[in-house]
Structure 1
């Protein structure tokens, strides 16, 4: 069941299109997990990958992409935008968070 409250983050149209394409492929886990991990002196790092849903996850439908987030990670993801860039030598997912929301 998807949560009725708003997701703490957004996916751009580019990210949504790439993720939907990846989910249609041969992935073992049907959910996109977005979270954070401690990073020592450099702060927190964002993480993204496919995973199975666990008991302490919130589930969101963001643009048709099933996204799971650990309940404890939600507050660190507020205002985050996940984009996909494909320009020249740069290709991949990029995390953007307004400076006013960085913790």
Structure 2
């Protein structure tokens, strides 16, 4: 019997990875990556958080993609399963965006979301 197959909680697009690498590279302090989480707030009920990581937390899920590293706060894992982190630039704004299958709704300004926990029965890797 081999090790149980693992799957990534979330993934990064090349654009998101490039921006993460820029943030890490431009930091005055040595950073390992960014920590992604969620907190209660905003008009839809929850907001994504993005914080610099100087020292890893053993409980975080480590996600690597396109030469960048992000860490997922353990309290956010069920809300982020299957999410794709992207970075977009438009005429009006630039920033990280999350394509999250667990999103139920979002506020009009796009700054907060309503999330449901992921359905773990459908997310299990095939045996």
> Aligned to 1:69, which of 60, 72, 96?
72
> Which TM-score applies when normalising by structure 1?
0.77
Residue 8 of structure 1 corresponds to which residue in structure 2?
9
The total of aligned residue pairs comes to: 98
The answer to whether the 8 Å contact 2:16/2:87 transfers is yes
Q: Does 1:95 align with 2:88?
A: no
In angstroms, what is the RMSD of aligned CA positions? 2.2
**Where is the helix percentage greater, Structure 1 or Structure 2?**
1
Residue 38 of structure 1 corresponds to which residue in structure 2?
40
Q: Does 1:50 align with 2:52?
A: yes
> Aligned to 1:83, which of 86, 107, 121?
86
Which segments of 5 or more consecutive residues in structure 2 lack a partner in the other structure? Answer: 104-115, 117-127
- Divergent runs of 4+, >6 A: none
Q: Give, in angstroms, the shift of residue 40 of structure 1.
A: 7.4
Q: Give, in angstroms, the shift of residue 84 of structure 1.
A: 1.0
Q: Give, in angstroms, the shift of residue 96 of structure 1.
A: 2.0
Q: Give, in angstroms, the shift of residue 43 of structure 1.
A: 2.2
* Larger of the two Rg values belongs to structure: 2
> Which one scores higher on RCO, CA 8 angstroms, separation ≥ 6?
1
Q: Structure 1 residues 16, 40: CA separation in 2 closer, same or farther (over 3 Å shift)?
A: closer
- Deviations for 1:32-83, whole angstroms, at most 9, x for unmatched residues? 1001112376222111121231232222222221211122321111122221
Structure 2: distance between partners of 1:41 and 1:92: 19
Which segments of 5 or more consecutive residues in structure 1 lack a partner in the other structure? Answer: none
